[in-house]
Amino acid sequence: MSHDLTSHQWELLAGVLQHGGVLAAPFGHLGVDSLLAGVLSDIDALEERGLIAVERSGDGDEPARLTLTEAGYAALGMA
């Protein structure tokens, strides 16, 4: 399976892997981190490709927890 991911998306996948396959929010520094919008966009793109599962917060659409899927592990060469 070919993955046309940006370097930031690869870094996000690797970050989830470094945290045991599950990464909890916050993803960046809310109100301070100018890159937060990009991280949220990368999360959406990785979820759409089936590389991560995203648990959303109860009060909105904000991601609360990211979990690598089998496809995510495979993309990282861990399958």
Question: What pLDDT does 42 receive?
Answer: 92
The model's pTM is 0.82
pLDDT for res 1: 47
> CA-to-CA distance for 64 and 4, rounded, in angstroms?
25
The ranges assigned to domains in the chain are: 7-75
Give pLDDT tens digits along the chain (79 positions).
457 899 989 999 998 998 889 988 776 555 555 567 788 899 999 999 999 999 988 776 788 899 999 999 999 998 7
| pLDDT number for residue 52 | 96
Strands 22-24 and 52-56: unpaired
**Which pLDDT value is given to residue 39?**
85
Structurally, what CATH architecture does the domain formed by 7-75 represent? Orthogonal Bundle (1.10)
